[in-house]
Structure 1
């Protein structure tokens, strides 16, 4: 796993996984769109399809999701966030996620999120 040391969360948030993304993967609502995005990255690292689907807005969520077993996520950098705080109903998070699948690669995405009640949901993402 990535993240910077034993127990470090794969999302690179600088905290132990048990205090960072693990509670969100277990169903606790994310306080911000960025925290949801980080938990979705961690879900990709861990192969947690349930969290990926549950955190995807029903209007854009696919019926099924398959992860590539030979792809290894190696790091996450959050570039910018907009309107994604505790009092916002929508937000945007731009990030770069690195991976290796034989050769190294980078996913650069601007993701859109909405909040409904206490829950943030991933809507979609665009490649800049």
Structure 2
């Protein structure tokens, strides 16, 4: 059996073998991954046939859907992280506002008590 031109492993299952117009062999999974980036053979740059692409259409659509979902999940995590950072900064600003209010009321002891009660770890997190 031939070796895949993408991963260089032997193609042992004939049902897993696809070829470009110049008969360059590839694994089905390798080709699905490749077609997400280019419609042409990685070796000779000839376009894969419409028949080959249509045979893999459902697999390509599924892979594209998985990629889109993964990107959406990553974007959601990033947004949640940004929201968390903003919330921490808002809490810190409210804390500073409370200290300023106590100082304006000349309640210096209350302000110092609040400042001394800060958990150093929380303050470091808020500053980031």
**TM-score under structure 1 normalisation?**
0.23
**TM-score under structure 2 normalisation?**
0.23
The structure in which a higher percent of residues are strand is: 1
Larger radius of gyration: 2
The structure in which a higher percent of residues are helix is: 2
